[in-house]
């Protein structure tokens, strides 16, 4: 065990904050300036050109000559006569800068190199005027503790040109404090550039001067957003923080309006309007991109998974396609969707609206009586949805067996019953091969205009799982077909966990009393661990620890399999309205059906992008979407609780660190922290293996998964941090605690 007690000053309220400048940094080394200049040169450069470009005086000629000689000797430069050129050994890398609230940051390497090396630590004094999100040229040095260190030698591209913040008057001028705590500086606003913004309002600012190490940036207000106490303003600030487009360009909207609706079958499109397809979605969904139908056959079952044929309307390289690729994915926020495609496509032409003929791409999958796939066919089709179902309605019909619902939809009941039977068989097959059956719970934020009604966990029922199982089956079938045919496509891969993380998980699980099976690490091994922990006191802990060992899924043209699904073949085929990788898959599949190899990337991708580049870019767009959704959740959670300081809540310990506890409220899907400095009844020691804090004097412990009572102490709207302190009573004395815990675990347990 290692002792560690960390104490930090709490941030002051926004009204008392004063303008902050960038971290002071020393002058950039001459060698760095030289290397930065040469990095942009494709041909060898003369000494005269170097001195002129760097603004050096004649008396500095000897200094630069010695520097050139030293860099040449170390292999960083090569010389051709009296001209110099950078070599691959110059230790310069292109990266994106990610800052922390404390001023230091990390350079995240671009491209495939990022898979092989750790991010580079950049000290606050080595920023050279760079800001969060900037694309920078970094000179790498050997660092301590196995992590490389470096310094910024040149800002290649600014990560932001606009930002949001809270305006404050300061005499004849004003300033804004950026709403993003990764930008630990203020922006100077001249009186003529403030748009008459009032003190304390949220504003959108355009940067007109990025400043220096000795001078803060300067900007001008381009829009007054309103009160930061407004949830809608907070959502808008999140959208601006992540630079997401709120509207489509006029040309894109016009191109969508000019599209001609397809209503009849062509030679290559199969007429499947006779098949009794239905859609099953959430109650508020407007874009229906998948429909299903199940038939009984002599040998088992036939499953139709029909997906909206977006590729018919969105041609590679078209103005709509270019915009869709740039967005990468739709982003879903409370009461708001930032779609990948214009509304005419997403909610009309490509939406499988009931009783409307719609072009689709259909996977026709054959299964035996045990649910094992025995065949797969694919075709462009024309279908007609016979019913728009919601998850709740299907759950009522099939699983709750509600008589009124079954009577109302009696004509479709036989098909739905077959679907229920097939789903159970597919789930059994997938579980048997070792697929993992857990997911991270998602927040459900309900709003009424500009008011937050509640923040809870989204509930999933068996109808969700039914559709999910059929979509998985279609995705796997398409992936296997294209891979075996040697088609170039974007796979959805989930690689094996890091062995070091698995070892750490094993130690923690054993400390909780679990008897782990001794075998080679595989999806089946993890599935058995989850099964052993199921309904035990350790279940919450095991699920959390297990999630942390997993790698993040991504898109790549290399088929590396999907560890979590225990699938050798997997990709995304079922949501081309909201995910660009699915649209790529549709195009490749169509090429395959007409006997073409997908070697000509212009037929499946925008511009001259390679599949490797597209996989990297689209994986990043997915991460941005996840990050902005979490950011909005943090903002609205802080707003929701801000007026409830001193109130008590029941909470579960969701994380344990040397500087305190992370907790998740049982009643709300809201997380916060209990700083160790607030735990003043004892001196607590961090047990990293046991994932707990132990009191040195009392031996009182707080372990991951434990239940505690907490008091809300502070909400910081700039950092979106919510801090609590532990109170006596709380969970132990609540009469309905056991029921709350059961509901809590039940919602987390559903995959």
Q: Which residue is listed with tokens 């591209």?
A: 157
| Contact (CB, 8 A) for 553 and 464 | no
Contacts 24+ apart (CB under 8 A), 679-683: 679/725, 679/726, 683/5
pTM: 0.85
User: 119: how many CB neighbours lie within 10 A of its CB?
Assistant: 17
Same fold, 30-157 and 162-228: yes
Which pLDDT score is estimated for 24? 41
Tell whether the torsion through CA atoms of 694, 695, 698 and 702 is positive or negative: negative
Quick check: helix, strand or coil at residue 89?
A: coil
Fold category of 30-157 in CATH: OB fold (Dihydrolipoamide Acetyltransferase, E2P) (2.40.50)
For the chain, how many residues are written? 751
Q: CA 312, CA 584: separation in Å to the nearest integer?
A: 12
CA 399 to chain centroid, in Å, comes to 33
Question: Rounded to 10 degrees, what is the CA torsion of 43, 46, 48, 54?
Answer: 50
| Contact (CB, 8 A) for 371 and 396 | no
Q: CA 518, CA 521: separation in Å to the nearest integer?
A: 9
Domain edges within the chain: 30-157, 162-228, 251-415+461-491+562-629, 496-550, 645-749
Tell whether the torsion through CA atoms of 265, 267, 270 and 274 is positive or negative: positive
CATH class of 162-228: mainly beta
Burial of 346 (0-12, 13-18, 19+ CB in 10 A): buried
Within 176-230, residue ranges assigned H as helices are none
Mean pLDDT, the chain cut into blocks of 10 residues (751 residues total): 38 41 52 80 85 84 85 80 76 83 81 59 83 84 73 84 91 88 87 92 94 83 96 97 95 97 86 96 91 97 98 95 96 94 96 96 97 97 96 96 96 97 96 78 89 90 95 98 94 90 79 72 82 71 80 94 94 97 96 75 76 93 95 96 95 91 92 93 89 91 89 92 82 46 48 34
**Beta-carbon contacts of residue 324 (< 8 Å; ≥ 6 apart):** 314, 340, 341, 580, 583
DSSP 396: I
Please tell me the CATH superfamily of domain 645-749, with its number. Nucleic acid-binding proteins (2.40.50.140)
Q: Where is 422: in which H helix or E strand?
A: helix 413-432
Burial of 162 (0-12, 13-18, 19+ CB in 10 A): middle
491-493 and 300-308 strand pairing: unpaired
Q: Which residue is listed with tokens 């001008």?
A: 220
| Contact (CB, 8 A) for 267 and 454 | no
Q: CA 621, CA 473: separation in Å to the nearest integer?
A: 25
Which pLDDT score is estimated for 21? 52
In angstroms, the Cα distances linking 46 to 261, 503, 554 are 62, 55, 45
Q: Where is 638: in which H helix or E strand?
A: helix 611-641
In 3D space, the residue among 141, 114, 110, 113 whose CA is nearest the CA of residue 122 turns out to be 141
């Amino acid at each position: 065990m290692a002792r560690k007690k960390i104490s930090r000053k709490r941030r002051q309220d926004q009204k008392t904050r004063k303008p902050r400048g960038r971290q002071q940094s020393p002058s950039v080394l001459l060698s760095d300036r030289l290397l930065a200049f040469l990095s942009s040169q494709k041909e060898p450069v003369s000494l005269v050109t170097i001195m002129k470009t760097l603004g050096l005086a004649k008396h500095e000629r000897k200094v630069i000559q010695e520097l050139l000689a030293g860099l040449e000797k170390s292999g960083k430069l090569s010389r051709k006569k009296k001209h110099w050129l950078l070599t691959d050994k110059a230790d310069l890398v292109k990266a994106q800068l990610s800052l922390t609230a404390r001023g230091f940051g990390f350079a995240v390497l671009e491209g495939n190199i990022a898979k092989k090396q750790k991010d580079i630590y950049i000290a606050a004094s080595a920023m050279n005027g760079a800001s969060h999100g900037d694309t920078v040229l970094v000179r790498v040095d050997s660092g301590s503790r196995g992590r490389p260190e470096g310094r910024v030698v040149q800002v290649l591209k600014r990560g932001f040109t606009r930002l949001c913040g809270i305006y404050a008057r300061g005499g004849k001028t004003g300033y804004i404090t950026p709403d993003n705590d990764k930008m630990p500086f203020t922006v100077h606003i001249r009186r003529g550039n403030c748009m008459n913004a009032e003190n304390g309002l949220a504003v959108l600012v355009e940067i007109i001067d990025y400043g220096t190490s000795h001078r803060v940036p300067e900007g001008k207000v381009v829009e007054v957003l309103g009160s930061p106490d407004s949830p809608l303003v907070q959502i808008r600030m999140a959208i601006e923080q992540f630079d997401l487009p709120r509207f489509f360009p006029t040309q894109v909207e016009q191109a969508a309006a000019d599209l001609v609706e397809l209503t009849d079958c062509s030679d290559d499109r199969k007429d499947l309007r006779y098949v009794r397809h239905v859609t099953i979605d959430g109650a508020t969904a407007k874009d229906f991109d998948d429909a299903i139908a199940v038939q009984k056959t002599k040998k088992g079952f036939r499953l139709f998974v029909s997906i909206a044929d977006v590729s018919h309307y969105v041609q590679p390289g078209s103005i709509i396609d270019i915009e869709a690729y740039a967005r990468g994915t739709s982003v879903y926020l409370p009461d708001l969707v930032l779609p990948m495609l214009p509304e005419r496509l997403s909610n009309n032409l490509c939406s499988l609206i009931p009783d409307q003929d719609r072009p689709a791409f259909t996977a026709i999958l054959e299964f035996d009586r045990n649910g094992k796939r025995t065949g797969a066919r694919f075709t462009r089709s024309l279908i007609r949805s016979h019913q728009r179902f919601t998850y709740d309605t299907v759950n009522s019909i099939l699983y709750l067996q509600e008589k009124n619902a079954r009577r109302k939809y009696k004509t479709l009941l036989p098909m739905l019953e077959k679907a229920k039977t097939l789903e159970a068989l597919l789930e059994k097959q997938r579980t048997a091969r070792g697929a993992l059956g857990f997911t991270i719970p998602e927040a459900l934020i309900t709003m009424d205009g500009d008011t937050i009604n509640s923040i809870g966990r989204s509930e999933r029922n068996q109808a969700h799982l039914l559709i999910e199982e059929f979509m998985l089956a279609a995705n796997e079938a398409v992936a296997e077909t294209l891979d075996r045919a040697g088609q170039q496509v974007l796979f959805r891969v989930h690689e094996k966990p890091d062995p070091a993380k698995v070892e750490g998980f094993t130690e923690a699980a054993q400390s909780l009393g679990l008897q782990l099976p001794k075998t080679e690490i595989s999806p089946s091994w993890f599935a058995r661990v989850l099964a052993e922990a199921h309904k035990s006191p350790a279940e919450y802990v095991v699920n959390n620890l297990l999630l942390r060992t997993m790698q993040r899924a991504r898109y790549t043209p290399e088929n590396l399999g999907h560890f979590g699904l225990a699938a050798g073949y997997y990709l995304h085929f079922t949501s081309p309205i909201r995910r660009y990788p699915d649209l790529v898959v549709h195009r490749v599949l169509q090429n395959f059906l007409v006997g073409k190899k997908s070697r000509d990337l212009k037929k499946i991708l925008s511009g001259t992008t390679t599949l490797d580049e597209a996989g990297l870019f689209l994986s990043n767009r997915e991460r941005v979407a996840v990050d902005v959704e979490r950011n909005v959740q943090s903002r609205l959670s802080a707003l929701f609780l801000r007026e409830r300081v001193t109130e008590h809540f029941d909470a579960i310990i969701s994380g344990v660190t040397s500087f305190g506890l992370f907790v998740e409220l049982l009643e709300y899907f809201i997380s916060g922290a209990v700083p160790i400095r607030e735990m003043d009844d004892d001196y607590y020691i961090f047990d990293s293996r046991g994932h707990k804090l132990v009191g040195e004097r009392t031996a009182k412990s707080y372990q991951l998964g434990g239940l505690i009572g907490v008091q809300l102490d502070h909400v910081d709207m700039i950092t979106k941090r919510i801090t609590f302190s532990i109170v006596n009573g709380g969970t132990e004395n609540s009469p309905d605690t056991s029921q709350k815990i059961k509901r809590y675990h039940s919602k987390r347990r559903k995959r």
